[in-house]
Amino acid sequence: MRYLNGVAAFALAALLSPSVARAEIVYPVTWDGVCDCPPTTAPPVVNPPVVNPPIVTPPVTPPPVVTPPVNFPSNARFTTPNFNYVQASHGTALAGGRFAIVVNQSLGDSVALNTGEGYVPTNANVSILSGQMLEGSTAQLIQFAPGGTITITEGTTILLQGQITGLTLEQSLVGYDYTMTFTATGGEMKNQFGSQGAAFGLIYNVDVVGNDVLTGGFTAQSKGDITRFATDNTPGPAVPEPATLALVAMGLGGIVARSRRRFA
């Protein structure tokens, strides 16, 4: 009986002291998996700009311009008007990749003109300047691009102006043979030459500059003709063709050996 009274007293004390009860009662903690946290916003994905590598195009190297040696038509014949010149000075040269002939009578050069009645001395001066030397040229065969000029003057009068359409130097026993075609573009004799202008001659007494004629060039003398060629049957006096120019007529018999030594 005394024991029961003790239990009842303890239970009564527990009811009257909530703090004690709370301190001893442990409530279980449960979580339903749902979070009331504020929503999390992921930062936007920023992709760096795509920079394409620059397109590198290799340079286009055009093939070298190759012009065949000047060849006249098989049925061509050379006719008047014809200027025949002989240089006493070294007025023929190859320099800087360009070929030039300057006939200047004040230096002792001479020019004669044949208009169909034989050659008559004239006070004309001649200037020929080629286009640029073409790649592929050799010391034996030198070719030049079209575009050079030819001019013949007499005092203040322009007798002939023309544009070179082809020019070739071919090595010979005495130096070089040259062959040229041109189209007349002005001067008092423009219509007489038209598009069938031609020039040819011999280059001799050649002095090569340096060890390579293509890079160093040369100075020389020359003799030649500036004429026109025809391919029809129109009658007219003929002038000597390049292949018929004789060394004896030019007094060049002793020059052959000298030129051989210079090109050796």
92: its two tokens: 């023929």
CA angle 100, 218, 133 (to 5 degrees): 55
Q: Are 163 and 182 in contact (CB under 8 A)?
A: yes
pLDDT mean for each 10 residues of the chain (264 residues):
54 53 54 62 77 78 59 77 94 96 96 93 97 94 95 97 96 94 96 94 94 94 93 59 44 44 49
HSE, side-chain direction, 13 A CA sphere, residue 255: 20
CA separation for the pair 200, 181 (Å, rounded): 9
Model pLDDT, residue 59: 77
Element spanning 207, H or E:
strand 197-208
Task: Count other C-beta atoms under 10 Å from residue 148's C-beta.
Answer: 22
- Which residues touch 58 (CB under 8 Å, ≥6 apart)? none
Q: Are 193 and 173 in contact (CB under 8 A)?
A: no
Model pLDDT, residue 121: 95
